[in-house]
Amino acid sequence: MEIIRGRLSAADFSNPSLRYNPDTDAVEYSPDGGATWNPDPADDPRVGLKFLKALKTGTEIKCRSAASTVKWLRDFIEYEASIMTLGAGVTAIGNAFLTLLSPIAPYAVLIAILFDGAETLFTIGATALTAAFDEDTWATLLCIVYCNVAADGSVSDARFEDIQTAITSDLNTTAALVLNLILQTQGRVGFQNSGTLYEVDDADCGDCTDCDRCYTWYFDDGDGGWYPRTAGEGNYTGAAWVATYYAPDAGKLVVIEHDIPTGAIIKSLSPDFAYVLGSTGGCPAGETRGAFLRYLNSSGDYIEAITSDLPLSTGDYPNTIKLTSENTPVKIQVNIWCAQCDHTDGAVTINSVTITGRWSDGDFPPDNC
């Protein structure tokens, strides 16, 4: 691999109208030769969607993508360790950082971040860096990535955060520090792209059997098998679950439930919902609205629950809350209400519901989050 000898600046390779602002951790664009600068996420290789590469096709995409990502990370770390062993300083390490990232996306605009990372690697040193990554560490990392990559090889923002959290909790301190430094430099876009680069001949994710799973029901694509707790406690419109209107001063309420297959472990429950206030009233001052999220056992008792009293708003009010607790319920319940919302043209609307946990193939549709 050819490595450039000499410390680089972003202007050596990137558009001089682009810069990285360390105070805001953002790429910025100047339309007037540097007189003014505006945030420009589209040109940030960490988040700019235009930099995304085509995902893999064929079979076993999830494992093949995870194996590609781990190969890229391993090649990166082993190469940096090798040049440090030969006496490379911060400049050479930083230039190698840029070269190794180049197959993923154009990172020159972030050269300041790369050299910060190079200084961290130099401080750790080749010996400690090599010692931090034994075969067990790489195997654990493969499963962390595999468990959080979608079936098509994509990685959501939430899963990208989960990967970094798992790295911190499951790997040794030095490995976690180095990997998360690289991931934060890559961003989600670069991380996903690393899964498209290689085909690993012996890719095997058979040991990754302890993965958390994630599924979201989007109600603009069907009712998802959800149903009202009792008749009159919600109506499916074809696009969302909406509260049934009660008499004036009685409020609005939507309570929907979903059956959970035997043995499925639910770790979190989170709806996306909104209060849409009507023109003829709305929730009067001093009234309340809120949400209950519940896991139910076979007797209908609440085995886990969370209640959230939500503040009033003068306009439409989107909300998300989350029940985070591991259990094996037979049902899950989402209950959204607004007391004394005496209007007919407003709504309490559930747009989607997301669960995470562990379950068998076929218990729910394929993971999509």
Q: pLDDT: is 342 or 179 the higher one?
A: 179
Residues 261 and 157 in one domain: no
**SS3 category, 307:** strand
Query: Residue 285 — very low, low, confident or very high, per pLDDT cuts 50/70/90?
Result: very low
- In this prediction, residue 287 carries a pLDDT of 55
Joined together, the tokens standing for residue 317 give 């009010």
For residue 300, the domain's CATH number is 2.60.120.260
Residues 217 and 321 in one domain: yes
Nearest Cα to 53, choosing from 203, 150, 195?
195
Residues 83 and 144 in one domain: yes
Q: Which residues, 6+ apart, have CB-to-CB distance to 8 below 8 Å?
A: 94, 95, 98, 108, 111
Number of domains in the chain: 2
Q: Using one digit for the tens of pLDDT, what is the confidence trace for 181-218?
A: 999 999 999 999 999 999 998 899 999 988 888 899 99
Average pLDDT, integer, range 125-137? 97
Residues 160 and 48 in one domain: yes
- In this prediction, residue 338 carries a pLDDT of 74
DSSP assignment of 71-98 equals HHHHHHHHHHHHHHHTT--HHHHHHHHH
Q: How far is CA 238 from the centre of its chain?
A: 28
Q: Using one digit for the tens of pLDDT, what is the confidence trace for 72-93?
A: 999 999 999 999 999 999 999 9
Nearest-angstrom CA–CA distance, 232 and 255: 9
Residues 15 and 163 in one domain: yes
Residues 272 and 351 sit within 8 Å (Cβ to Cβ):
yes
Nearest-angstrom CA–CA distance, 110 and 97: 11
pTM of the shown model: 0.70
Percent of the chain scoring above 90 in pLDDT: 69
Q: Is the pLDDT at 10 greater than 60, yes or no?
A: no
Q: Domain for residue 4, yes or no? A: no
Q: Is the pLDDT at 286 greater than 90, yes or no?
A: no
Which range marks the domain in which residue 122 is found? 10-194
Q: Domain for residue 323, yes or no? A: yes
- Which of 163, 194, 225 corresponds to the end of one domain? 194
DSSP assignment of 9-44 equals -GGGTS-TTEEEETTTTEEEE-SSTTS--EE-GGG-
Average pLDDT, integer, range 53-68? 95
